[in-house]
A and B are shown apart, each in its own frame.
Chain A
């Protein structure tokens, strides 16, 4: 069997929604997963950043409690960088700054560690890119953790503001051998 990246799943982000579940992608087949988001944009002219991601537990429920801790550096091309962090939050923020498609989009790569291990926290690190008319180019680098030892089987791309629905994009999941 060849090693390195092994394709698992591709999910299209449909226009008009504010959450996208990528479920049943983390199994006992891999300890580490690589997730790539490409072309993620909003469906109207709302330059902002996407809230982030939340995990899906072994029963299929999205983990919405304050069980996440993260630290994020947003690197703006046009202004001072922004250091943001939380030790108790309801989502992991990735720094996905985006806009309507004609003005920008966002995406990046994040790695998920030990999601299928019920005795371990699930850790994530990410490297993202983005652009919108307010911020110009803006990259993000995040480290985060779900502070509950339980089996995680998927994740949800999450935006809490109903006025900022997604316009499209793709999410691709790979296992890392």
Chain B
């Protein structure tokens, strides 16, 4: 008898994602889905959307069991021009605020650009110098957050506008082999400025 009660004669059929055979009852589908063995396309899975207004931090503390996460940020507005936002990681529930983060960003703008980098900072910038009332946005990929054998990385691309459109992209790392259980978006430095935004966190589902 198979672990799952397929119809018809399916006692010895091995089920897997992309390779399901037989006729399934709703309970079969439920059980197979929970076992990651039912083919159900749509591997960009929304974990949480947060819309916040006039706060100085926003936390994402549910990462699920995904190895790669995708974060979108839009309609970012700040209370003070040239506020820089950054990410800090929670390691087993404890926010890492020390100068352990490394990052590098390329700025692209009309007329000139620039390199921004650090090998010892208290956060990884994900959105820089967003002026008041222009509503910028961006996206980030996070890698290996929940894997306590690997460093935690992110890549980022975002836009902002002041007198001209500006794009920025880069990457950052917390070079510590710890289990990251969440992250906090807040001021890149100690300025602790208020901001408003809508941010959606997705997990990217994979299968063995």
Contact = CB atoms under 8 A, between A and B. Distances in A.
25 contacts: A2-B40, A4-B43, A7-B17, A7-B206, A7-B207, A10-B208, A75-B171, A77-B102, A77-B104, A77-B117, A104-B175, A105-B151, A107-B144, A109-B155, A127-B155, A127-B169, A129-B154, A131-B151, A136-B119, A137-B172, A137-B173, A137-B175, A139-B155, A170-B206, A174-B204
A10 B207 contact: yes
Contact of A172 (B102, B172, B177, B206): B206
B207 A136 contact: no
A81 B171 contact: no
B71 interface: no
Given A1-B41, A81-B106, A131-B102, A107 B143 contact: yes
Given A5-B44, A75-B106, A81-B106, A107 B153 contact: yes
B205 to A, nearest CB: 7
A31 to B, nearest CB: 16
B151 A75 contact: no
B186 interface: no
Interface string B170-183: 11110101000000
Given A2-B42, A81-B106, A108-B141, 4 more contacts: A4-B42, A36-B204, A109-B141, A129-B153
B119 A77 contact: yes
Contacts of B147: 39
Contacts of B89: none
B42 A3 contact: yes
A65 interface: no
A7 B18 contact: yes
Interface string B122-161: 0000000000000000000101100101110111010000
A156 B173 CA distance: 26
B173 A131 contact: yes
Interface residues of B, number: 41
Interface of B: 17-18, 40-44, 67-68, 102-106, 115, 117-119, 141, 143-144, 147, 149-151, 153-155, 157, 169-173, 175, 177, 204-208
A10 B171 CA distance: 24
Contacts of A78: 102, 117, 119
Given A137-B172, A141-B106, A104 B155 contact: no
The contact size tier of chain A is 35 or more
Contacts of A102: 177
A104 B171 contact: no
Nearest to B114: A81
A2 B150 CA distance: 32
A50 interface: no
Contacts of A131: 102, 151, 153, 173, 175
Contacts of B144: 38-39, 105, 107
Interface in A79-114: 80-81, 101-102, 104-105, 107-109
Contacts of A141: 106, 169
Nearest to B68: A36
A122 interface: no
Contacts of B207: 7, 10
B22 to A, nearest CB: 20
Contacts of B43: 4-7, 174
Interface in A114-152: 127-131, 136-141
Contacts of B150: 39, 101, 105
A73 interface: yes
